[in-house]
Structure 1
Amino acid sequence: MKKLILGLALALGLASTVWAAGGSIPMDKAPKRTNDMSALQNGAKLFVNYCLNCHSASFMRFNRLRDIGLTDKQIAENLTFTTDKIGDTMKVAMSPTDAKAFFGKNPPDLTLVARSRAAIGGHSGPDYLYTFLRTYYRDPVTPTGWNNKAFPLTAMPNPLWELQGEQRPLYNKVTSHGEEIEVLRGWEQVKPGTMTPAEFDQNVGDLVAFMQWMSEPAQNSRVRIGVWVLLFLAAFTVVAWRLNAVFWKDIK
């Protein structure tokens, strides 16, 4: 029993530490696009091209992308690698040993990251991902040359730097509890990417929407069915109430 309690305490401590590292700035609101098929398809393309090189999504199969409007031919020709089959899960070819040697740790699986981040920090997982992917900046002090405002000292360099370019944070100095501190007020573009800032934010929104959909592909159907169930129960409640009144009306 003591071991169980210590294990739970350690797990909660690690979770709070992880979120503390990722909670240095307010989270931006991620756009809601899990019902937008074109956004999900673009997000799937970005995920395969920029995330699936190092991170796996081992609980998601390529053929499940039919649910976002893609055909098997489109999936095979545009979203799988040469050795992948349409029914395979989204795994990377790099072994965990090589990944640890290259990056210092094995990159985490991303299938459920949009849900697990919410569970850890009490914030929206999509909001965290949307903020994280847009707040990279150059930092010569770090081993990778990159840092992140949503997750300071992250081990992962900016995977979308070619699209985003390079930016630097701008600060305002404010006094808090008698001490002067710097508060992030915005960003300055230092080196342009292949996309404008507006285009980059749009594409990151699509990528995050796909990762949110991937974490629970049935969520839209669940919500839709849930609404109809609640409407049915509301209507049935009225009918049952009237039947009850008719049944008891002649009983004194």
Structure 2
Amino acid sequence: MKRHILTILLVLGSASLWAEGSNFEGLQLSSAPVNVNDMASIKRGAKFFAGNCSSCHTLTYLRYDKVAKEAGIPTDNKPISINGVTPPDLSLEADARGVDWIYTYLQSFYKDPSTPSGVNNLIFPGTAMPAILAPYQGEQVLVEKPVYDLLHEVQWYDLVKPVKQGSMKPEEFEQAVNDLVNFLAYAAEPFRAEQERIGFWVLGFLVVLFVLMYLLKKEYWKDVEKNQE
């Protein structure tokens, strides 16, 4: 019950952030290709989280999870304050903000010398989070005069351009971000895939039960109709 209440509070809190969010007209969230049944992707994302995110962020509700434990995600670390801001726990982040928001956020950092961290973000201006993924993605800067049609959706990559190559190729980095978001989606609902499988069995059982009850009803009413005649 507490978990659901916290999720609702996070959703309400984050909704205003997104509403105020981007300063770029028409910017849309990119669709995250999340698949909660892809355990290979989830495990890769867990390892990526352990190596790049767990020093600052916690996963309180995933403390006893097998996937997190195998990936080496610590359960007793304390968040490190960044520019006076304590990084949030990410257990329910996928529920609170949505996987598309996280997917877009992680890819849309750009250089901004006016900020304490030297970077900024397209959909979360003024974020205290440094560009920890820049070594993989490379560095980006804002396009001075972006060319796009306001009648169509504007994506984050329409507004920035790369100026320094990271250790990963663009498609490799995109896959790494997808794995990480997939893992965070799993962290928010670790039993979702199992619940879906059980749900199909339950629906199948109800269909069979309906057929049996219908046949039973016909059998009972057969005698009732005979008596009425």
What TM bracket, shorter-length normalisation?
A: 0.7 to 0.9
Give the Cα separation in 2 of the matches to 1:183 and 1:229: 41
Give the Cα separation in 2 of the matches to 1:133 and 1:191: 17
Which one-letter code corresponds to 1:147 in the other structure? N
Give the Cα separation in 1 of the matches to 2:150 and 2:32: 30
CA shift for structure 1 position 11: 9.3
CA shift for structure 1 position 200: 0.3
Whether 1:218 and 2:197 are equivalent positions in the alignment is: no
CA shift for structure 1 position 38: 1.7
- Count of residues in Structure 1 that have an aligned counterpart in Structure 2: 209
- The aligned counterpart of 1:3 is none
Whether 1:160 and 2:156 are equivalent positions in the alignment is: no
Say whether the 8 Å CA contact 2:136–2:173 is kept in structure 1: yes
Give the Cα separation in 2 of the matches to 1:137 and 1:22: 15
SS, match of residue 59 in structure 1: helix
CA shift for structure 1 position 225: 0.4
- The aligned counterpart of 1:108 is 88
Summarize deviations over 1:17-54 as a string: whole Å, max 9, x none. 32224466211111123222221111011101111111
Give the Cα separation in 1 of the matches to 2:187 and 2:12: 28
Q: Provide structure 2 residue ranges, at least 5 long, that are not aligned to the other structure.
A: 1-8
Among residues 144, 149, 173, which one is paired with 1:200 in the alignment?
173
Among residues 35, 38, 44, which one is paired with 1:36 in the alignment?
38
Say whether the 8 Å CA contact 2:10–2:96 is kept in structure 1: no
Among residues 47, 59, 81, which one is paired with 2:61 in the alignment?
59
Among residues 63, 77, 83, which one is paired with 1:92 in the alignment?
77
Give the Cα separation in 1 of the matches to 2:11 and 2:92: 19
CA shift for structure 1 position 189: 1.5
Whether 1:229 and 2:222 are equivalent positions in the alignment is: no
Summarize deviations over 1:180-202 as a string: whole Å, max 9, x none. xx986254221000001111000
CA shift for structure 1 position 12: 9.0
Summarize deviations over 1:113-169 as a string: whole Å, max 9, x none. 11122xxxxxxx111111110111111222211111121221111121100101234
Q: TM-score, normalised by structure 1?
A: 0.73
Whether 1:149 and 2:99 are equivalent positions in the alignment is: no
Relative distance call for 1:35 and 1:154 in structure 2 (3 A) is same
Give the Cα separation in 1 of the matches to 2:155 and 2:220: 68
Give the Cα separation in 2 of the matches to 1:21 and 1:104: 22
- The aligned counterpart of 1:87 is none
- The aligned counterpart of 1:128 is 101
Among residues 203, 220, 223, which one is paired with 1:247 in the alignment?
220
Give the Cα separation in 2 of the matches to 1:11 and 1:204: 22
CA shift for structure 1 position 204: 0.3
Give the Cα separation in 2 of the matches to 1:16 and 1:152: 15
Percentage of identical aligned residues: 37
Which one-letter code corresponds to 1:92 in the other structure? N
Summarize deviations over 1:60-115 as a string: whole Å, max 9, x none. 12x5224x8xxx7xx3xx625xxx6xxxxx24245xxxx44x42121111111111
CA shift for structure 1 position 13: 7.8
SS, match of residue 190 in structure 1: strand
Cα RMSD of the aligned pairs, angstroms, is 2.8
Q: TM-score, normalised by structure 2?
A: 0.80
